Structures are given as C-alpha cells and as structure tokens.
Structure 1
Amino acid sequence: MHIAVFSQYHTNPDCPATSRHYALLAHIARTHRVTLITTRTWEQQRLTQEFSWLPEGVEMHAANVPYHNKMGIRRRALAFGQYATYALREGLRIAKPDVIWGISTPLTAAWAAEQVARWRRVPWVFEVQDLWPSFPVAMGAVPNQWAQKRLFSMEKSLYQSARHILPLSPGMTSYIRNLGIPEQKLTTVLNGTDFDLAARATDATVAALRQQLHLEGRRVVLYAGTFGRANNIPMLIGAALALAASCPEVTWLFMGHGYDEVLLREAAAAYPFIRLVPPQPRHAVFTWFRLADVSVVSFLGLPVLDANSPAKLYDSLAVGTPVIVTNKGWTRDLVEDNGCGWYSPADDASALAQQLRHLFKHPELLQAASKASYQIAATTFDRQKIAAIMQEVLEQAIN
C-alpha cells in the first residue's frame, strides 16, 4: 500500500520537538510505502546528529518554507499558503497513493491533502492535532468575520470529506462529534510518548544532570515546551515569585523557546530561582523531566485550549513526574482520575503557588502521584501502540 503523508512540519529526535510522526512513520514504513510531503523548517534546527533525518523506508519531498513561533500573523499565513501550494503540486506529481494522510496544524495542510485526494480519487484520513480555526480565532489572529466564516466552513467540509478522522484528544473528538460528524468516522489517538527514549533517563543520567546544574538538595519545577502566547508564561513567572518567600529551596526551570523568551530572560536575570534552559533534543528531554519534582502544563483560560493534547504532559508522566495542568478539560480529568497530577486554575498565579507549597510540604503526595504517573503512561501513551492503531485506520480507509 502506498501512503502519502501531508505534514507541514517534520522533526526527528535530534530536534527540540515532540517528533510524534517520526515514531509513527517508522512503524508504518516497515510494511507500506510512505511518501512524506513536508518542509525543511526543522531540519536546520537539529541539535544533534544521532538519528537519521527520515525513518528507514520513507521518501521525502520537502519545500524550503521558513517558519518559527515568533512570526507575526501575516508571515505565518504566508508560510501556510506556501506549503499548501507546494503540497498540492507535489501531491499531483508523485506516484498515485492508495490513501492520503493529512495532518493539521495548520488547516491548510489538511486542505491540500483533501484536494489531492479528490483529484486523484483516493480516500484520505484527517489527523487533527489542534482545533483550527477555533484556536487562532480565539487568540485574535483572525479578526475578520468573513474570514472566520470561510475557515469554519472549510473545517467542516474537511471533516465531511475525510474517510476517517483522528483527533488527538477526547476533547477534540467531542468538538467534532458536536458538529454532526458520525461517530463511526472518529477514532481518538492520543499524542503519546516514546518509551525507548524515556528509558535513557536513568538514575545515573539524572544524577549527573543534577550535579551539573548544582541542584543538589533543591526542589525543581519544570516547564518544558513552547513559550508561546497561549502558554501563559507570565502567570508561571508570577507563581514563581509568589512561591519564593515560603519555599526558597525551589528552582524553576523553563526549557524551550518562543514568543515569551525575552520575558523569561529578564526574569532569570533578576531572580536566581528562575533559570532559562536552552532547547534540548527530543532524546534528552526525558532526563530533564525525571529530574523535576513536578512539571507544569499551562495554557490561557480559553475554552478552546481545554481540548489540547500537549506532548509535555505525556513525556512527564512517562518518567514518573507528576503534572499540574491548568486546563479544565480532559487533561484535568486525566490527572485527577488517575492520581498522577493536579489541577490549578488558569491565570491564577497565587493558586498555583499555593498548590506547589502544599505539595512540597507533603512529599508523600508527590511520591504517590509519581507511581501513578508511570502506570497510566505505560498502559495508555505508548506511541508504538498508537502507531499500530494509525496503520489499521489507514489500511481500513481503502476498503
């Protein structure tokens, strides 16, 4: 079977990114022909050279379309359009696939996949990583109401035309179901994590990192991921300041890059208990997560963000580090129902500081949550199992 994959961003474990599809493509390419239509955005951002850029058996067609988190709205829109144009052209040039796998974000990548599927008269499967256009509209990136209506109309038409839809969280599945999409077209596949890479976070590597960072005897709170507008970095800085007086033994590590990096640099320069960590390759992040006593997965208090499926949630739980989430949606249910974390209201720095203060005064709570974290991750978040589900959906799509 020949599978054409439309994804604007391709990463591998040498990159400071989740590399979800690297694991999925590696699994599927063992038994099927895979053609990936993507861009070279992340190829230039590799931090190491330990892994091949493509999984064995994957053929790549890649456009040189720049993109980064600090771009403005118009520049991002141009990048989305450039990739969609390239993907449409390449999709009509490659050998005819049996099925097409379209991955958003952005929504324009899925649109290109749908167009090629229609022209080549083959089925396509829609993987929904984020709710577009709901997210950019909620963030004020699409102020024009006419444009909003067009985007929402395109979104629904894509759901309708896809042979099958794969949302990355129960919240996304509920949203799509409420648009009138039949239940039989929906399969929830969580973002997941890579247990082969998580196994690198051994006692020895964690101890070495702790010594290197001079963190012996200190409590560690970790935020790892994008410093984007939606991630509520100012709230986390506020919580760090509120906690400092009562818990002077706590160090906050912020690992990543993005829009609020300047703000974090200023905070780290002013306060010794806040440290800014450069982005790390995917295969190394698990040691940082295991080093931490607790990690924080924070977002603005926007309803659309409750459906998110953040990679840092899965990575943290995979090494037994409990998580504090600020979404009211399915991630809150996950950590509370499984005892692997806690909920703190978005936009409330004092509440987060109080929650952390309570946990550090009662370390037995952290220990119990740590055991529960690994258990739920091992049974639910393994990307090898998710890849098998993905392959089955693609195979069934052509029948």
Structure 2
Amino acid sequence: MNILYIHQYFVTPSEAGGTRSYWISQELKKKGHNVTMLTTNRASLNKKRETIDGINVIYLNIPYDNKMGVFKRIIAFLRFMLLSSWYVIKSKGFDLVIATSTPLTVGFPALVAKKLRGIPYIFEVRDLWPEVPIQMGGIKNKFAIKLLRLFEKKIYQNAKHIVALSPGMFDGVIKTGIPENKVSMIPNMSKIDKFWPRKKNESVIKELGLKKDSFKVIYFGAMGLANGMDYILDGIKLLGTEHNVEFMFFGWGYMESLLKKRCEEENIQNTKFYGKMPMDRLSEIVNISDVSLVTFTNLPILTTNSPNKLFDSLSAGKPIIVNSPGWTKQMVEEHRCGIYVDPTKPLELAEGIMFLKENEKISDEFGENSRKLAENMYDKSILCEKFSAMVEKLK
C-alpha cells in the first residue's frame, strides 16, 4: 500500500524528541508498504522534501516550538490542519492515511481524505484531546468545548481503526461510544538497541560538570505545564543539598526558563539544565544516571499518559519514580521497576530518592526489572510488529 502518514511533530533518531512514527514507518516499509510522512519544517525553513531512510518526508513551512504561547500554538495547529488538508486534496495514489495526534486537528486532513478521496484512515490517540487542554484550563468556552468534543467523536467514528497509547486512552475513546473492536492499545515503545545499561562513561560525567561520586537523578523530555516540573523542584528543596544528590534536566518547553529562574531566585543549587539532546547522546547521559523521574501535573486526564521517557528509562535499565496514579503506577509496582510518589506530596519524592540512594540492592533490582520489561513487553520490535499486523488486517 501507499501510506500517507500525518504527524505534525515527526522527528528522526538524529533529532531530539519522540521517534515512534519513524520506527513504525520503518516496520511498514519492511512489510513492503511505501510511506510518505507529512510534517512541519521546524528545523530549517528551506527544506520542502527529503527522503530519510526510505521515508518520503514532505515538510510544510509552519514554525512550531513547545515554548510558544497558547495563541501561537493554536495558529500553528490550524495552519497545519489547512495546509495538510490541501495536500490531501491535491494528492493521488494513497491507499491509507495514518494520522497521529496531538493536536486533535491532525484528524481533519484524515477526515478530508475519507470524505473527498475515499481513503480510509487510522487515527492514533497520543493524548485525549480536547480533554487534556480542557482540564488544564486552556479551553474554557463552553461552546468551544462542545464543538471540540463533537469533532473528536466525528474523527473516531469515521476512522477505519483507532490506536490508543495507554489503557486510559483506550477507555477514553470507548466512552465516546466507539466499539471496543475498533480500538487497539499499542503503547509508546522502548528502544532496547538505543538505550541500554553499560559501564558509566566517566568522560560524560566530566563534560556535564557533575561529581563522579554523586547520586544522579535525571528528568528528560518535554518541559510543559503538564509535566509537573514545579513538583520536582519542591522535592529538591525539601531534600536539601547535604546528601550528594545531583539533578540533571534535559529537554525543552514552556517551563524551562521558568524553572531556571526559580532555581536562581530560590538558590536551588544541585540542579543543572542542558537543553535538547539527540538520541545517541541522550542514551549515554541516561546511562550515567541512577534514577529517572517521570512526573505529571496532578490532573485526572494526565493519568492516561504514555510518556516516551518512561519507556526509554526502562530500556536503559533504570529505577523509575512516577507520580501519576494511573497505569504507570500500576506498572512500576506490579513489575517492581520503580516507586510511586504522591503528586500532592513533594516530600514523598525527596524520600523516594533517598530510599533508592540508600538501598543500592533494591535500586539495582528495580533497574534489572526495568530492562526485562523493556525487552519482553515494550520493545519497538514487538510493538511496531503489532501496529503493522493491525494495518495488514485492514487491507
């Protein structure tokens, strides 16, 4: 089949960010499908078309950054919705469309493909929009909320099949009236060949300006309002500086500058911010850490998240601290690969870090269990095959 894959934030392993669409595309190509990726040109305004590892990538000139305010983000979403819909209208020869959110507006060009071109589509739910921005206070107008929920249901109803990235997202889709046999749960994926446990690279520790003998805690990935970043700083303050613990922050987003400012104003000394990192470099860095943090703001809808950083941390064989009382809590407790801390009690975060620091045997056991879970359940080789098999059944 000739497949049009619509993903506004598509990145490759050489870039910083989630690479799920890249790996799924590679698996589809292995099965003999041709994949065209429709995305935005965030890195360079000059690129329009490029072939990347056999994927035909079409770039739409729409600047986007996680640090943008709400209004600029909405403009970027709407521009991508309109320009990608125009691309669909003009294009010929596609047999299937895969549209992956967020935002929800990515579903519109897929809807256009079905209604005007008769092309079926798969819709992938990475977050339950519009419920996420509603609960976070980004959308307050009652008419707008009603309209967006109708739009969400319309996209689900017209999809040939829906892929949800967590059990909570699966349930969220079903609650709109969609039959269960129309939805598959395929979570985010580990990359056991990209993140793996090995001897710590001391030169990396030195380059990052870290102590050789400190207990290193890492947070990596998006730094948005949803990621509970102030909760982490609250926990760091309660922990204090006398325990030889260092905190590394890698990523980008709206909260990054605010967190740096808070650290300066409140004299939070044992934190370092490094910005974005490509996957290979990040793999080395995660490997020198002792524990990985996966946090979210305390909102019910955010318990449905399926964060990339969690699965990369599993691959790296790290004990994980989560603060979301959803399926990630169940995961780390059931498989003994980390601990859960209350998102309203930053003291629990400080105590959890100290527990792992002072109980090396348990920490090592958690790390070993993380790697086993990545290898046996969540590796991309397993989940991309599951996605590809689902596509094959839709022929």
TM over 0.5: yes
1:99, 1:122 within 8 Å by CA — same for their partners in 2?
Answer: yes
- What's the counterpart of residue 87 of structure 1? 84
Q: Deviations over 1:91-135 (max 9, x none)?
A: 122223111111111111112112212211121111111110000
Deviation by residue 1:175-223 (Cα, 9 ceiling, x = unmatched)? 1122221111111111102222225x6426x332123333211101111
Instruction: Report the equivalent of 2:371.
Output: 374
Where does structure 1 lack aligned partners over 5 or more consecutive residues?
45-51
CA distance in 2 between counterparts of 1:275 and 1:230 reads 21
Greater mean alpha carbon deviation, residues 177-186 or residues 290-299: 177-186
**Deviations along 1:253-285, whole A, 9 cap, x unmatched?**
111121122233235543331111221112221
1:53-64 matched pairs, under 5 angstroms: 54-64=51-61
Aligned residues of 2:89 and 2:112 also touching (Cα < 8 A): no
SS of alignment partner, residue 184 of structure 2: coil
RMSD over aligned CA atoms reads: 1.9
CA separation of 1:356 and 1:291: change in aligned 2, threshold 3 A: same
Identify which of 229, 236, 243 aligns with 1:240.
236
Aligned-residue sequence identity (percent) comes to 30
Partner SS state of residue 193, structure 2: helix
Taking the aligned partners of 2:249 and 2:187, their CA distance within structure 1 comes to 25
How far off is 1:42 after superposition? Answer: 4.4
Give 1:33's aligned residue.
34
Q: Distance in 1 between matches of 2:392 and 2:110?
A: 17
Higher mean alpha-carbon deviation, 111-120 vs 305-314, is at 111-120
User: C-alpha offsets along residues 10-60 of structure 1, whole Å, 9 cap, x if unaligned?
Assistant: 11112111222111112212311112211112457xxxxxxx975433222
Worse-superposed segment, 288-297 or 354-363: 354-363
Counterpart CA distance in 2 for 1:290 and 1:56 is 27
Counterpart residue number, 1:48: none
- Retained in 2: the 8 A contact 1:5–1:101? yes
In the alignment, which of 102, 113, 126 is matched to residue 110 of structure 2?
Answer: 113
Q: Which moves more between the two structures, 226-235 or 21-30?
A: 21-30
Q: Which amino acid is the alignment partner of residue 259 of structure 2?
A: L
Q: Which moved more, 1:312-321 or 1:354-363?
A: 354-363
Q: Distance in 2 between matches of 1:112 and 1:152?
A: 17
Q: Aligned AA for 1:309?
A: S
TM-score, structure 2 as length reference = 0.94
Counterpart code for 2:301 = V
* Structure 2 contact 190–314 (Cα < 8 Å) conserved: no
Q: Does 1:296 align with 2:293?
A: yes
Distance 1:43 1:312, change over 3 A: farther
The amino acid of 1:372's aligned partner reads N
Give the Cα separation in 2 of the matches to 1:86 and 1:395.
Answer: 29
Q: Aligned to 2:162, what secondary structure does the other structure show?
A: strand
Partner of 2:6: 6
Distance in 2, matches of 1:2 and 1:142, equals: 37
Alpha-carbon distance between aligned partners in 2 of 1:56 and 1:176, rounded to the nearest angstrom? 33
Contact preservation (8 Å) 1:307, 1:329: yes
Q: CA deviation at 1:169?
A: 0.9
Give the aligned partner of residue 72 of structure 1.
69
Residues 124 and 163, structure 2, Cα contact 8 Å, conserved in 1: yes
1:361 aligns with one of 321, 342, 358: 358
Q: Is 1:124–1:397's contact at 8 Å kept on the other side of the alignment? A: no
Give runs of aligned pairs for residues 144-183 of structure 1, distance below 5 A. 144-183=141-180
- Distance verdict in 2 for CA 1:382–1:53, change over 3 Å: farther
Partner in structure 2 of residue 47 of structure 1 = none
Q: Say whether the 8 Å CA contact 2:41–2:60 is kept in structure 1.
A: yes
Q: List aligned pairs for 1:147-226, cutoff 5 A.
A: 147-199=144-196, 202-203=198-199, 206-212=201-207, 213-226=209-222
How many residues are paired up? Answer: 389
Seen in structure 2, the aligned counterparts of structure 1 residues 267 and 218 have a Cα distance that, compared at 3 Å, is: farther
Tell me, yes or no, if structure 1 residue 326 matches structure 2 residue 327: no
Equivalent AA in structure 1 for residue 53 of structure 2: E
> What is the alpha-carbon distance in structure 1 between the residues aligned to residue 262 and residue 146 of structure 2?
40
Q: TM-score normalized by structure 1?
A: 0.93
5+ residue gaps, structure 2, are none
Distance in 1, matches of 2:150 and 2:275, equals 40
Amino acid at match of 1:68: D
